[in-house]
């Protein structure tokens, strides 16, 4: 009789594992769908671009999020140039300037209304400030 109980227990464990696996797949696909929707909408691009502008603005990450590759590379290049030349005083100012630009842009992004942000930075493609 204990062999029969072991078989039933094994079947229950397999069923439970299958249910957990199916639920995990379902949750992952829901998360992926939600993430795709979040990155497509203007409001969430505004939030992501604004926060990245504030925290990583010197590296131009917020520009890349909005699709401004040239401007993103300008900020990234300026930051790397500033870091490379920081042994002479001018490099520190270059690095600080790119950080301030990112900070200002991040604040501007977050203070605009959703419609104004979309029209200005996504529809009309205004690259700076």
Look at residue 4 in the predicted model and tell me its pLDDT.
Answer: 64
Residues with Cβ within 8 Å of 68's Cβ and at least 6 positions away in sequence, in order, are 125, 127
Residues with Cβ within 8 Å of 53's Cβ and at least 6 positions away in sequence, in order, are 61, 62, 102, 103, 105, 106, 107, 109
Look at residue 60 in the predicted model and tell me its pLDDT.
Answer: 93
Look at residue 58 in the predicted model and tell me its pLDDT.
Answer: 93
Report the chain (129 residues): mean pLDDT per 10 consecutive residues.
65 80 78 60 77 94 93 95 91 93 95 88 81
Dihedral angle of Cα 105, 115, 63, 97, to the nearest 10 degrees: -10
Q: Is 128 left (phi over 0), alpha (psi -120 to 50) or beta?
A: beta
- pTM for the model stands at 0.64
* Helix or strand holding residue 77 (H, E): helix 69-84
Look at residue 31 in the predicted model and tell me its pLDDT.
Answer: 67
């Amino acid at each position: 009789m204990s062999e029969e109980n072991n078989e039933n227990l094994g079947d229950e464990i397999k069923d439970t594992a299958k249910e957990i696996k199916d639920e995990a797949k379902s949750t992952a696909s829901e998360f992926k769908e939600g993430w795709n929707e979040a990155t497509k909408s203007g409001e969430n691009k505004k939030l992501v671009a604004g926060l990245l502008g504030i925290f990583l603005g010197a590296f131009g990450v917020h520009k890349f999020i909005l699709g401004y590759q040239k401007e993103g590379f300008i900020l990234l290049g300026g930051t790397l140039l500033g870091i490379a030349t920081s042994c002479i005083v001018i490099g520190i100012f270059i690095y600080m300037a790119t950080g301030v630009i990112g900070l200002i842009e991040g604040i501007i992004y977050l203070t605009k209304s959703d419609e104004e942000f979309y029209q200005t930075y996504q529809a009309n493609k205004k690259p700076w400030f």
